Amino acid sequence: MSSNKKYWKSVEELNENSSIVETLRNNEFVEEIPTDQFLGDEASLSSSSTTRRDFLKYVGFTTAAATLAACEGPVHKTIPYVVQPDQIIPGVADYYATTMFDGFDFANLLIKTREGRPIKIENNTIAGAKFAANARVHASVLSLYDSMRLKNPKIAGKDATWNEVESKIRSAVADAKAKGKQVVLLTNTLASPSTEKLIADFLAKNPGAKHVIYDAVSESAALDAFEAVYGERALVDYDFSKASTIVALNADFLGDWQGGSFDAGYAKGRIPQNGKMSKHFQFEANMTLSGAAADRRVAMSVASQKQALVKIYNVVTGSSIATGKVENEAEVMKAAQQLKAAGSKGLLVSGIQDKNAQLLVLAINQVLKSEAAVVTGARQIRKGSNEKVAQLIADMNAGSVHALIMSGVNPVYTLANSKGFVDGLNKVPVSVAFSLREDETVEKSKVAAAVPHYLESWNDHSLTKGTYSLVQPTIRPLFKTKQFQEILMALNGIPGSYYDYLKANSAAYISGSSWNQVVHDGVFAAGAVASVGGTADYASAANALAATKANAGFELNLYTKTGLGDGQQANNPWLQEFPDPITRVSWDNYLTVSNADAKKLQLENSIVANGGLNGSYATIKLGAITMKVPVIVQPGQAVGTVGLALGYGRKAALKEEMQVGVNAYSLYNGFNDVQIVDVTKAEGEHEFACVQSQKTLMGRGDIVKETTLTIFNTAKDSQEWNELPMVSLDHKEVEATKVDLWESFDRSVGHHFNLSIDLNACTGCGACVIACHAENNVPVVGKSEVRRSRDMHWLRIDRYYSSQDTFAEDNEKKENFDGLFGEKGSLGGFGQMEHPADNPQVVFQPIMCQHCNHAPCETVCPVAATSHGRQGQNQMAYNRCVGTRYCANNCPYKVRRFNWFLYNNNDEFDYHMNDDLGRMVVNPDVNVRSRGVMEKCSMCIQKTQLTILTAKREGREVAVNEFATACSSACTTGAMQFGDVNNKENKIASLAEDKRAYHLLEHVGTKPNVVYQVKVRNI
């Protein structure tokens, strides 16, 4: 029997006269499908000969297609595919090989895309792809979705069309010809054969035109020296894996020195094999990543380093150039003698910005016949000329430049004599700035030309002689942008697209391969090309360097931080929140001062009640420039020197939260990174966002274990340097790992994942931290939250200083404590160990969830939100979590993070996850966590499961070493190795059983699945 009962959804339906109810009954689709937004207007549709069916067949609309077609940000309204494109499978990632080069950073990459969106950067590991991504390159995918990008061209600050821009540039070039004035192309180092050919054609068609190359952070001294010896502007491509003795003066080669990317080769020689490892001496003023990794680090001013370099030159070459006495001369002579003894296995590098110093570097390596100083295949990534930039500014101010066309540079921000440049720019009738953002130079230019991101572009690069790399787009341009090369083609009268030009031009560089193959691989290696050998007047260079005298005042050493580099990506929140590996401070730059100088100037750092770090302000005076800067008291800073990072202090095209720090470029006079300044204390106290308050290891030898190469080689038993902790069981001492509170089950069946971290290979570079951010949708919380110890990084890199000169002396002091009070009392002794030595040893230790097989977090969770997986991972069920934080309290490693707020789509946290464009970087395989839940490293379970499913779908076993996490894939040095320990062919299986292997806090009995390798020092 049917029922006449009436069901209704709302009270409104009971009103029979409601027009809204009637409309809803008769119209299934309440809101019209917005076809005009992507199909065009009615007039254009009616004039089209394409049928509706054909149109939908070819255009099959998706979110990705909407992004490509609309070019105005994310699309909220979509129509399903009619015919699904073969190359896009929903839920399956596609990878495209490309190359990144922005004039400062460079790398050979694979770009992971999902449904047309680039979301993650991986390293290209094909043969010939030698440059891996650093932290900034990993973060560059987020810069693609920067909501403050320049979205269309502008003339005089008003929106314009590209035809208008092209017409204005064309007429400016013609006017310059007619008036006999200059047209100047001012670019960064291009390292692009096709672009350089276009520029050469432009210069040939316009005889009065010039091309000036400008690098914001100059390597002109090294370029000048190389040019004097080998006849071309390039840099030596050092292979540190071939050096057994390394001596570095003011060269942070594990950082940004001469472009970086030396860490992989360096790490190969740092892992003890067959009883040997390389010996590394570092002479520097600032504490750097290279200094932290060195076996022997000597804090020394650059003025003293110049004298030291001459002494090394004397020892190696047998010369007798007179030099003054330098501090730590015994260390200098020891390094020089060991370098000479190493012969072809020796290597000297230097970052001293002095042509004479760089000539001596080339001379010393020539005499050594160093295998590591690779002159064949020289680097093409820096070609700027300080002299030509200075001449350009003079010409602009003299009124002889009619048109200035800039690409890839921001001289209004990065030039020390910015005022001189701006004054000259105002005298140039037509100034055009091709830029990704409306930066400081764009604001002062008459024409703003919006360029696409490298992930939206075609291009080529020759990063070293003999290699050819391609840049291919992984997404259609999001905005109304054009490449600089397209405008050059138009000015040169070359028809077609830049893609066609690039493809035709590539034939000269890819002999023996095909265009499609090189696009697929991303790089083609034709073979190293030798530079023409030569010599120079090295004796005169040594004499000039020996005449260097120290100046009165503080020696300011300018450098680039691991996070922001030269400042191009200052609007990238991942990089702003990235803690500096040395100071562990984010969201700031600061003046680093030695403890001795801080006491003299009464500068202080203090930890306040909420755990935040506060610091004094100092005033820096250089000529007419006065700058107020916060201070970090930096262990290892050379007395009489201070350090300050470039890349901060920007205002234009940045969100308010990113406008932090001071602009140190204003102190970069003459492109010299060493300046003599006056430093005085200023009023006020600065609040830092520092994620690591502890200063030392405090004798906790079971967290970081280390030994010397001598002990490592001579000890009869590894227990002598990798001691197993003992506990009491039935009044007997037994190994802690053999005592359990829990019963174990058989883990030998199926996969069992482990992660190995080699403390010898880890340089603290932080690439793993940013890769983890990108893979796992880790939120950015901002400076004030970081200051409250609420950072959300799933992976942190702890930095430990020794309180004595070495960690061994730390342990000796700890072991000699006798009682609580007195000179050897433990109470006062541990307090002293909180204070680092003036020149401490340094250890970097990546820490993430240890995925304990006997996890203390799992036993205290009242709702079983955290549990152990069959494959060894400690898992989180976010929907079950009620935020008690018991698990965080019970975790001995302090790796769990609590979502105090909803960081996604929250105006209080106005970073990338608060706007539609920024959220395009979100990885759909990982859920975005909500407020009130715990989160932490998942050992990239989404990646391990994808690997298993891929192998299953292909009907095969998982290949050896196929498993990877975001951090292990990003690690350029091989410090992180991930895999299945049950497959004995995997690297991880042997590493877990290696005699250097140990676990953190083994005496607690947590049985982690993360294993560390004991650090060995060659001292």
Answer yes or no: is pLDDT of 72 > 50.
no
| Band of residue 724 on the pLDDT scale cut at 50, 70, 90 | confident
The residues with which 238 forms a beta bridge, in sequence order, are 373
pLDDT of residue 695: 55
Indicate the residue type of 818.
Answer: D
pLDDT of residue 2: 47
Crossing angle of helices 484-492 and 162-179, rounded to 10°: 50
pLDDT of residue 905: 86
Q: Measuring CA to CA, which residue among 857, 549, 568, 809 is closest to residue 696?
A: 809
pTM (two decimals): 0.89
**Which range (181-190, 379-388, 664-673, 837-846) has the least confidence?**
837-846
Q: What value does the mean pLDDT take over residues 927-943?
A: 92
Specify the pairing of strand 209-213 against strand 182-187: parallel
Q: What value does the mean pLDDT take over residues 220-230?
A: 93
Query: What one-character-per-residue DSSP string does 429-480 give?
Result: SEEEEEESB--HHHHHSSEEEE---GGG--EEE-SBTTEEEEE--SS--SSS
| Band of residue 62 on the pLDDT scale cut at 50, 70, 90 | very low
> Measured between alpha carbons, how far is 796 from 846 in angstroms, rounded to an integer?
6
| Alpha helix stretches (DSSP H) within 870-1008 | 886-890, 941-953, 966-970, 987-992
Phi and psi for 787 in degrees, rounded to 5?
-60, -30
**Which range (14-28, 139-153, 557-571) has the least confidence?**
14-28
Is the model more confident about 158 or about 548?
158
> pLDDT tens, 465-476?
989 999 999 999
pLDDT of residue 913: 85
> Measured between alpha carbons, how far is 767 from 132 in angstroms, rounded to an integer?
10
> pLDDT tens, 1-13?
444 555 554 555 5
**Strand residue runs (E) in 64-116:** 94-101, 106-114
Q: What value does the mean pLDDT take over residues 386-414?
A: 94
Answer yes or no: is pLDDT of 70 > 70.
no
CB 725 within 8 A of CB 670: no
Q: Measuring CA to CA, which residue among 221, 532, 162, 156 is closest to residue 378?
A: 532
Sequence-distant (6+) residues with CB within 8 A of 85 are: 60
Residue 158: half-sphere exposure toward Cβ, Cα within 13 Å: 2
Q: How far is CA 400 from CA 176, 391, 397, 406, 422, in A?
A: 10, 11, 8, 17, 15
Cα-based torsion angle of the residue sequence 577, 580, 583, 589 in order, rounded to the nearest 10 degrees:
-70
Q: What value does the mean pLDDT take over residues 579-594?
A: 93
Indicate the residue type of 922.
Answer: V
CB 141 within 8 A of CB 100: no
The residues with which 688 forms a beta bridge, in sequence order, are 613
> Measured between alpha carbons, how far is 662 from 646 in angstroms, rounded to an integer?
8
CB 321 within 8 A of CB 539: yes
Q: What value does the mean pLDDT take over residues 64-69?
A: 40
> pLDDT tens, 486-508?
999 999 999 999 999 999 999 99
Q: What sign has the CA pseudo-torsion 559, 562, 568, 571?
A: negative
Q: What value does the mean pLDDT take over residues 170-178?
A: 92
Name residue, tokens 């003023």: 285
pLDDT of residue 76: 38
> pLDDT tens, 294-319?
999 999 999 999 999 999 999 999 98
**Which range (548-552, 674-678, 732-736) has the least confidence?**
548-552
> Measured between alpha carbons, how far is 299 from 235 in angstroms, rounded to an integer?
26
**Which range (704-718, 727-741, 828-842) has the least confidence?**
828-842
Answer yes or no: is pLDDT of 981 > 50.
yes
CB 895 within 8 A of CB 904: no
With a pLDDT cut of 90, the percent of the chain lying above it is 69
Which DSSP symbol is given to 819?
S
Number of other residues whose CB lies within 10 A of the CB of residue 940: 28
pLDDT of residue 78: 45
pLDDT of residue 29: 45
pLDDT of residue 848: 94
Answer yes or no: is pLDDT of 213 > 60.
yes
| Band of residue 228 on the pLDDT scale cut at 50, 70, 90 | very high
**Which range (91-95, 243-247, 753-757) has the least confidence?**
91-95
Q: Measuring CA to CA, which residue among 657, 652, 682 is closest to residue 785?
A: 657
Answer yes or no: is pLDDT of 216 > 60.
yes
Helix (H, G, I), strand (E, B), or coil: what is residue 580? coil
> pLDDT tens, 79-96?
555 666 666 778 888 999
pLDDT of residue 36: 53
Q: List the Cα angle 240/246/247 in 5-degree steps.
A: 135
Phi and psi for 689 in degrees, rounded to 5?
-100, 95
Q: What average pLDDT is seen over the chain?
A: 87
> Measured between alpha carbons, how far is 140 from 539 in angstroms, rounded to an integer?
45
Number of other residues whose CB lies within 10 A of the CB of residue 224: 19
Q: What value does the mean pLDDT take over residues 18-46?
A: 52
Phi and psi for 502 in degrees, rounded to 5?
-60, -45
CB 431 within 8 A of CB 399: no
> pLDDT tens, 515-524?
999 999 999 9
Specify the pairing of strand 346-350 against strand 373-379: unpaired
Answer yes or no: is pLDDT of 708 > 50.
yes
pLDDT of residue 771: 95
> Measured between alpha carbons, how far is 479 from 474 in angstroms, rounded to an integer?
14
Three-state SS for 863-906 is: CCCEEECCCCCEEECCCCCCCCCHHHHHCCCCCCEECCCCCCCC
CB 783 within 8 A of CB 660: yes
> Measured between alpha carbons, how far is 422 from 444 in angstroms, rounded to an integer?
7
Is the model more confident about 426 or about 830?
426
Name residue, tokens 């001289």: 411
The residues with which 401 forms a beta bridge, in sequence order, are 182
CB 796 within 8 A of CB 691: yes
CB 767 within 8 A of CB 138: yes
pLDDT of residue 802: 85
pLDDT of residue 788: 87
Crossing angle of helices 355-368 and 220-230, rounded to 10°: 50
Q: How far is CA 83 from CA 54, 62, 70, in A?
A: 11, 11, 20
Answer yes or no: is pLDDT of 63 > 60.
no
> Measured between alpha carbons, how far is 812 from 503 in angstroms, rounded to an integer?
65
The residues with which 510 forms a beta bridge, in sequence order, are none
Answer yes or no: is pLDDT of 77 > 80.
no
